[in-house]
Amino acid sequence: MIDQLERALVISPYSLPQPAREELMLAGLNALTIRHYEACAPYRNMVDGAWSGLVEAKDVAQVPYLPVSLFKTQRLQSIPDEAVRLTMTSSGTTGQAVSKIFVDAETSLLQQKALANSLMHVLGRKRLPMLVIDTDDVFKNPAMMSARGAGVLGLMRYGHSHCFALDRELEPDFAAVERFLADNQGAPFFIFGFTYMVWINFYERFKDVGLDLSNGILIHSGGWKKMIERSVDNASFRVALRDRFGLTRVHNFYGMVEQIGSIFLEASDGLLYPPNFADVIVRDPITWQPARVGQPGVIQVLSLLPHSYPGHSLLTEDMGVIETIDNGPDGWMGKGIRVLGRVAKSELRGCSDVIAAQ
């Protein structure tokens, strides 16, 4: 499966047409299924119970998948305990169960290479000065360290000369932002922030200051529920940033801790595209068969990265719709997907309960 992943990483990111992607993915996914079936007893039990045992998939839609929620209740790893380099957890409110993902050195390196490969497509090969829409306390203060802090810290490696737009009270640091823009006048720079913070803590506080962010490249994700509560969708978010700041290079991304390193980036058409080493299937929540283009359903994500745990084929808790295939702007290939929101829990319970019971 390393061979397939290496092939996907050496070509231009987001460039593989769907037929070539599925051919490359199928070989790698089948290899990962065998790896995890042999090394992870709970996964083996689920494949035996829900898929009648280990069978070579003839296309990517036949690869066994797990409901992503199982990582909140099951310890799923394909490596010995002593090989675990770090344990990643999903975000969650107090009292909520969180996913636990066990990562070894090999998988961690693959995740870093893959994420760099994806970001390079919009940021270029050189690290850029970076404006972070957050406070540095998010990772310096242990009381604040969370999935958000880990996300900020992880993305910081892809920029330099970091400037934090907010102070420890999450109030605007106008002087710091103005210095950053003065120091990087006329040159491109990288902006990162979680979507709801970009809007609430940055846009709403800086919109009347007259900032010129026309040389910025914003990558953002997360917190769309809070945005919808403010009647702000993706299209109005992009328009507002363009009109107030001249910021036109804006890329939302879709990803999850259960497949860290595999991010679906937003192209200029507003759709999200999987990288060369990943794919997406939308399944009809009644039949669980792959939905046709334009038909909403439950999102399944596939990735060649998870080697230390069986996360290569996961049924998410999100609804989405594939709107185009191999027809993205500026050479973006593969499936262009729009995420519609969280699925009703009752729609997933049947599938999840059957698998968990095995």
pLDDT, tens digit (0-9, with 9 covering 90-100), for 179-222: 999 999 889 999 999 999 999 999 999 999 999 999 999 999 88
Region 37-55 average pLDDT:
95
Per-residue pLDDT tens over the stretch 3-26: 788 888 888 889 999 999 999 999
pLDDT at 141 over 80: no
pLDDT at 2: 62
The whole-number pLDDT of residue 220 equals 94
Contact between 258 and 289 under an 8 Å Cβ cutoff? The reply is no
Residue 187 placed within a domain: no
The answer as to whether 4 is a domain residue is yes
CA distances for 214 relative to 58, 81, 95, 249, 252, angstroms:
47, 48, 42, 8, 17
Q: Is 279 part of a structural domain of the chain? A: yes
Give me the pLDDT at residue 346, please. Answer: 44
The number of residues in the chain equals 358
In whole angstroms, give the CA distance from residue 71 to residue 80: 17
Q: How confident is the model at residue 357 (pLDDT cuts 50, 70, 90)?
A: very low
Dist CA 338 CA 321 (whole Å)? 5
| Residue 307, in any domain of the structure | yes
Rounded mean pLDDT, 151-167: 90
Most confident of 94-108, 139-153, 287-301, 330-344: 287-301
Beta pairing class for 335-342 and 86-89: unpaired
Largest pairwise CA distance in the chain? 63
Give the residues across from 201 on adjacent strands: none
Q: How does pLDDT run across 221-248, given as a tens digit for each residue?
A: 887 778 878 888 888 999 999 999 999 9
Report pLDDT for 358: 34
Q: Is residue 319 part of a domain?
A: yes
Burial of 172 (0-12, 13-18, 19+ CB in 10 A): middle
Q: Strand pairing partners for 190?
A: 130, 217
The predicted pLDDT at position 281 comes to 98
pLDDT at 147: 65
Domain count, the chain: 1
Query: What is the pLDDT at residue 352?
Result: 37
CA distance 63 to 307: 16
Question: If we measure between CA atoms, which residue out of 199, 232, 233 comes closest to residue 218?
Answer: 199
What number of other Cβ atoms are within 10 A of residue 56's Cβ?
A: 10
For the stretch 281-294, pLDDT in tens is 999 999 999 999 99
* Structural domain span for residue 300: 1-75+268-358
**Cβ atoms of 43 and 36 closer than 8 Å:** yes
Which run of H or of E encompasses 175? helix 174-183
Does the pLDDT value for residue 304 go beyond 80? Answer: yes
C-alpha to C-alpha distances, 330 to 183, 234, 253, 258, 326, nearest whole angstrom: 31, 20, 17, 29, 11
- Segment 244-282, tens digit of pLDDT: 999 999 999 998 889 988 999 999 999 999 999 999 999
pLDDT for residue 348 is more than 70: no
3-state secondary structure of 224: helix
Q: What is the pLDDT of residue 91?
A: 64
Q: Is position 291 within any domain? A: yes
Measured distance CA(260)–CA(24) in Å, rounded: 20
What is d(CA 213, CA 291) in angstroms, rounded to the nearest whole number? 40
Instruction: Please report the pLDDT score of residue 142 as a whole number.
Output: 61
Determine the Cα–Cα distance for residues 138 and 205; give it in Å rounded to an integer: 19
- Joined tokens for residue 192: 């990162």
User: What torsion, rounded to 10 degrees, do the Cα atoms 281, 321, 90, 97 define?
Assistant: -90
Question: The pTM is what?
Answer: 0.87
Percentage, residues of the chain above pLDDT 70: 92
Question: Is 289 contained in some domain?
Answer: yes
Query: Amino acid identity, residue 216?
Result: G
C-alpha closest to that of 290 among 59, 49, 127:
59
Confidence of residue 92 (pLDDT cuts 50, 70, 90): low
Residue 191 CA to residue 197 CA, distance in Å, equals: 12
Beta strands in 255-345 (DSSP E): 264-266, 272-273, 278-283, 297-303, 313-325, 335-342
Residue 230 lies in a domain: no
Residue 349 has a pLDDT of 43
Q: Which helix (H) or strand (E) holds 267?
A: none
pLDDT at 244: 95
Give the per-residue pLDDT at 125. 87
| Per-residue pLDDT band at 140 (split at 50, 70, 90) | confident
Cα–Cα distance between 343 and 61 in angstroms, integer? 20
